[in-house]
Amino acid sequence: MAGLILLVLLVMACPAAMGAPGNDEPVVVQTGVYVASINDFDIREGSYEFTGYLWFRWQERLPPGTENRIDFVLVNGEMLAIDDVDVREHNGWYRQSHRFSAKLRNVFPLHKYPFDQQTLEMVIEHRWLGTDHIVFQPDEEALPSASLATAALGPDVQVRDWSIIDDDVTHTSRVQEYSTNFGWLDPNKWDRKSSRYALRIPMDRSLTPYVIKSVVPLAIIVLMSFCVFYIDAKEFQAQISITITALLSAIAFHISQANTLPKVGYLVVADIFYLLSYSVIFLALVQVIITHVSHHRGYPRQAERIDDYARVVFPILFFLPIGYLIVYGYQ
């Protein structure tokens, strides 16, 4: 009986010897980010800067060798500045909080430009601990507001020419599995899986600046080329000058827009606007030649009828596809 009691006491003192649950579980780290400002958003370079606060909370001590600190890295950028703080302990919780400034990067799809939506991300993971040791979780208790945008973004956060989609702001965690062990001396110490925390801020492009700077001037150029339909066919030189000037102006506008975007290997919606403009201006040039030939050969009435048709057909050829592209861009 004494031996049985001693065995029970040993089991209670050393639950690991009996495979007690929980000892092999990773430490759950509650993670949160508060963004005080977003600066220097450059879609051409694919970069932007976050300034704000980053914190971690956990209950169990971290594995040996960590000094009970979260040694994290930015997956999609680098820290420009971060304060060095001590880990605080209170009521069984450990807390590590930093004020930071970070330069972040992302790949921005531009297929629907200028009707595109983009997402700014901040992604972190532990420098060397895998999911068998540490797991990040969004700190929902520290951000209790019904709208994450209200809780995680400062009241003055703005991005020029963009509007943040408040309802779609999210912070999540996921597992990243690697195909390399990054040269670990003891590969058995890491399962090649890392826990990641990500804050995502979706944004809509404001169309007003684009309309004022690009759409209105382009529409004026195209409408200028349509003026040739109201000029007598015998004024061939004036008609040719107008259409060629309009075509060159449209090309110059297109090049100017292309210089504001990154080099991509596909057409964006705005490119189709310009290609459509080239097409109708070129067709206007062809129409000028046809009416001039008709008038020169002694068919002035035929030339006038062609002009009458062109005054109706050409605006339809231009504005109907433009309307379709706008509807497509918003879908």
pLDDT for residue 17? 37
Domains defined along the chain, listed by start: 24-205 (2.70.170.10), 208-330 (1.20.58.390)
Average pLDDT for the chain:
87
pLDDT tier, 8 (very low <50, low <70, confident <90, very high otherwise) = very low
pLDDT tier, 55 (very low <50, low <70, confident <90, very high otherwise) = very high
- Least confident piece of the model among 81-85, 190-194, 224-228, 265-269: 190-194
Name the DSSP class of 159. B
- Least confident piece of the model among 58-67, 74-83, 97-106: 58-67
For 65-90, write each residue's pLDDT tens digit: 889 999 999 999 999 999 988 999 99
- How buried is 25 (Cβ within 10 angstroms: 0-12 exposed, 13-18 middle, 19+ buried)? exposed
* CB neighbours of residue 8 within 10 Å: 10
pTM reported for the whole predicted model? 0.82
Cis-peptide into 114, omega within 30 deg: yes
pLDDT for residue 188? 66
By the 8 A CB rule, do 124 and 276 touch?
no
Element (H, E) at 249: helix 236-258
Q: How far apart are CA 135 and CA 165, in angstroms?
A: 28
For 126-161, write each residue's pLDDT tens digit: 988 889 899 999 999 988 777 899 999 999 999 999
For 258-308, write each residue's pLDDT tens digit: 888 888 889 899 999 999 999 999 999 999 999 989 888 888 889 889 999
User: Per-residue pLDDT for 15 more than 50?
Assistant: no
Higher pLDDT, 31 or 233: 31
User: Per-residue pLDDT for 187 more than 70?
Assistant: no
Q: How far apart are CA 297 and CA 295, in angstroms?
A: 5
pLDDT for residue 12? 47
By the 8 A CB rule, do 51 and 79 touch?
no
pLDDT for residue 18? 35
Please give the C-alpha separations between residue 136 and each of 55, 79, 171, 254, in angstroms, as whole numbers.
Answer: 11, 19, 11, 46
Q: Comparing C-alpha atoms, which of 284, 276, 280 is closest to residue 328?
A: 276
